Structure 1
Amino acid sequence: MSRGVGVTEAVREWVPEWTLEGFAVLSVFGDLLVIVPVLGVLYLVTVGRSLARGERDQPLCSDRTAVLIAVVFGGLALIVLLKAVFAFPRPPAEWHAIEPSEHGFPSGHTMAATVFWGALAARFHLGDRASRLAGAGLLVSLVALSRLALGVHYLVDVLASMAFGVVYLAGIAWLARGRPERAFGIAIVIAVLAVVASNGSSRAVLALLGTVGGAVGWYVVERPVVRRRLVTLVQRVN
C-alpha cells in the first residue's frame, strides 16, 4: 500500500490552486530560514539581558536556552540522518506544487516543526503547559497539512515525522538532563552519523558545522575569563 493511503492525492485534488501560496507560507513554520534565525535572536536576547545585568559570575546564556539550541540543532541533524537511511521517494512529480529536495521520508519540515515548537513549548514558561503544547501541536499540524497540500509528502511521511520528533525530544531530554554540554554532545554525535550515512552530503556537512559551531560558540563565551571581559566591556560602553 502507498505511504499516502490515498490521502495526498485526494488533498491535492480538493485543495484549490489559489490556496497553494498560503500553504507554502504555512510550511515556513518548519523551515530552517525561520528556525535558525529565531534561535539566533533568542540567544542574543538572552545574552544581552545577562550583559545588561552585569552579573560576572552567572552564565550569559541560561542553561535552558543553551539546551534548547543544542536540541534543535540535533533534531535538524537527525532529519538528515533519517532521510539518508530511509531514502524513500516523494509522491509523483505531477503532484508537486513546489520544487522539493530529493527524499520524501521523513518530512523535514514537519519533523523540524515538531522539534522546534515542541522544544519551545517544553522549555519556556509562557502561559500554562497545556496551552503551550496545544499551540505547538497546532503549528506542527498546519505544517504537516501544508506538505500534503503542496503534494510533496505522503500521509505516512508527516505522521512518522511527528512521532520521530516527539521520541527525539523525550530521548534527548532524558539523556541531557538539562545540561548543555550533554545536549551538544548528543547533537554532535547525531550530526557525525548523518555525515557518514549520507556519504558527506552538503546538508549533513552543514548540519555538523552548525552543531559544532553552536557548541564551540557557547563553550567559549561561557568561559569565566571571556564572560567577565564581555561584562566589563559593556559596562564601559554604557
Structure 2
Amino acid sequence: MHGHGVSDALAGSVPDALVPLLRVLTALGDPGVFLVAAPLLYWLGPRYDVIPAERAARVLGIVVGGLALVVALKSLFALHRPPATVSLVHADGYGFPSGHTTGATVFYGTLAALLEIGRRRTRYVAAAAVVAVVAFTRLALGVHYLPDVIAGVVAGSLYVAFALAVSRNRVANAFAVALGVGTAALVLAWTAEGATVFGATVGGIVGWQFARDHTDAVADAAPWTVLALAPLLAVGGLPLAIEPSVPVAAAAGIVLGFGVVWVPTRL
C-alpha cells in the first residue's frame, strides 16, 4: 500500500528511548480522552466562562458523531494496518482512516471553532499543531500508513465543517448529524463498539430535547456535581471492555448519551 515506506522509515528511525514520549503524545488522539474531555467541558465550561452551555452541547454532539464516523469509515474500507514487524506498539482493528487522527481533527477543530478563550486564529493554529503531532506519532509508532493519517485529517475536517454549519442556529442538528453517522456505524460494523456509539447518539439527541430549556442550570451547578459523570462514563465504557451483545451495548450507549446531556441540567 502507498505510504508503507514512510511507516518503515519513521518507525525504523525512532530510538527506543523516545517510544514512551510518542505514546504520551499519541494519547492526545485517544477516543477515551474525547469521551471524558467533551462531557467535562459541557458540565464545567459554562460555569467558568470557557464556553456557553449551548456551544458545549454542540461540542458533545459533534464529538460523539466524530467517534461514530471513525467506526463507520474503518468498517466501510476494512483496510489493514502496517505489519507487526513495523509497529512499535500494539494496535488492533482496521487502519484506514487513522482513528486517532480523525478524532483529534474533530475534537480540537471543534474546540477551536467554539471556545471563547483566546483569539480564534490562535486556537486554530494550536488545534492544527496538536493534530499534526498526533498524525506524526501514528506514523512514527508504525501503526498507520501515510494515507491513513491524511484521510483522517480530511474526513475529520469535512465532518467538522458540515456539523458546525448545520448546527449554527440549532444545537439539535449536531446530534441529528451524529445520529445519522452513528446509524451508519452500527449497520456497517455491527459490533459492541458500533452499538455503543450509536446508542450515545440516540441518548444525546433525546437528552437534548429535555435539557435545552434548562441550560442555565449547567452554569449554576456546583463543581462537585461533576462526580456524577463517573458512573455514566463507566456504563458507557463497559461495553468497550467486555464486548456484550449489540442490544446491551446500544442500551449502555443510550444511558451514557442521555445522562451526559441531561443530568447536569438537574443538579
Shorter-normalised TM range: 0.7 to 0.9
1:73 aligns with 2:72: no
Taking the TM superposition and a 5 Å limit, the aligned residue runs for 1:123-202 are: 123-198=114-189, 200-202=190-192
**CA apart distance, 1:85:** 0.6
1:21 equivalent in structure 2:
20
Offset at 1:73? 0.7
C-alpha displacement at 1:66, in angstroms? 1.0
What letter matches 2:38 in structure 1? L
- Residue 10 of structure 1: aligned partner: 9
Indicate if the aligned counterparts of 1:11 and 1:149 stay in contact, CA closer than 8 A.
yes
> Is it true that 1:220 corresponds to 2:210 in the alignment?
yes
Aligned identity (percent) is 37
Where structure 2 has 5 or more consecutive residues not aligned to the other structure, the ranges are 226-267
Q: Kindly indicate whether the alpha-carbon contact (under 8 Å) linking 1:29 and 1:143 is maintained by their aligned counterparts in 2.
A: yes
Q: Secondary structure at the match of 1:127?
A: coil
Structure 2 distance, partners of 1:74, 1:86, is: 18
- Hey, which bits of structure 1, 4+ residues long, moved more than 6 A? none
- Aligned letter for 1:106? P
- TM-score (structure 2 length as normaliser): 0.76
Q: Post-superposition shift, 1:206?
A: 1.1
Structure 1 residue 62 displacement after superposition: 2.4
172-181 vs 123-132, which deviates more?
Answer: 172-181
Taking the aligned partners of 1:189 and 1:217, their CA distance within structure 2 comes to 16
Q: What is the identity, as a one-letter code, of the residue corresponding to 1:111?
A: T
Superposition deviation, residue 223 in structure 1: 4.4
- Say whether residues 1:99 and 2:104 are aligned partners: no
- Work out whether residues 53 and 216 of structure 2, in 8 Å CA contact, stay in contact via their aligned partners in 1: no
The two structures have a TM-score, normalised by structure 1, of 0.85
Equivalents in 2 of 1:214, 1:67: separation in Å? 11
Aligned partners of 2:149, 2:38: CA distance in 1, in Å?
24
Q: State how many pairs are aligned.
A: 221
* Partner Cα distance (1:118, 1:70) in 2: 14
Aligned AA for 2:211?
Answer: V
Distance 1:74 1:178, change over 3 A: farther
Kindly provide the amino acid, as one letter, of the partner of residue 180 in structure 2.
V
Once superposed, what is the RMSD of the aligned Cα atoms? 2.5
Letter in 2 for 1:156: P
2:6·2:145 contact (CA, 8 Å) conserved in 1? yes
Q: Which moved more, 1:32-41 or 1:105-114?
A: 32-41
Greater shift, 27-36 or 109-118, is seen at 27-36
C-alpha contact 1:111 1:162 (8 A) present in aligned 2 = yes
Letter aligned with residue 202 of structure 2:
V
Matched, 1:120 2:119: no
CA drift at 1:216: 2.6
Instruction: Work out whether residues 122 and 129 of structure 1, in 8 Å CA contact, stay in contact via their aligned partners in 2.
Output: yes
Look at both structures and tell me which one has the larger radius of gyration over its CA atoms. Answer: 1
- Larger RCO of the pair (alpha carbons < 8 Å, separation 6+): 1
